[in-house]
Amino acid sequence: MRKQRRVPQRTCIGCRTVRPKRDLVRIVRTPQGVIQLDVTGKQSGRGAYICPSRACIEQAFKRKLLEKALETSIDTETIERLRGEVAKLQ
């Protein structure tokens, strides 16, 4: 095992800010094709990181950044659900 002192960093897909991974929310597309928040950060599937802020979420939806990051199309229903889930984190 390597000794790693550096905090893992990820880029928010909304504002492109690089932040410690734990300050960001992971949104994952599961192998079953479900798009959901991954609060553990350990769920398998393709993931994207975003600040838990309304502004970043809206930016990601409006500009289809989340769809690009997850390489899938996301319907309005899913967007509404994610919006609600992120709102609960604030």
Residue 27 binding Zn ion, by CB under 5 A: no
- Please select the residue that binds Zn ion; options are 37, 51, 74, 86, rule is CB under 5 A: 51
Residue 14 binding Zn ion, by CB under 5 A: yes
Reduced to 3 states (helix: H, G, I; strand: E, B; else coil), residue 35 is strand
Q: Which residue in this structure is represented by tokens 């609060």?
A: 39
Least distance to Zn ion, CB of residue 14, Å: 4
**Angle formed by the axes of helices 76-89 and 54-62, to 10°?**
160
Least distance to Zn ion, CB of residue 31, Å: 26
Q: Where on the chain is the footprint of Zn ion (CB under 5 A)? A: 12, 14-15, 51, 56
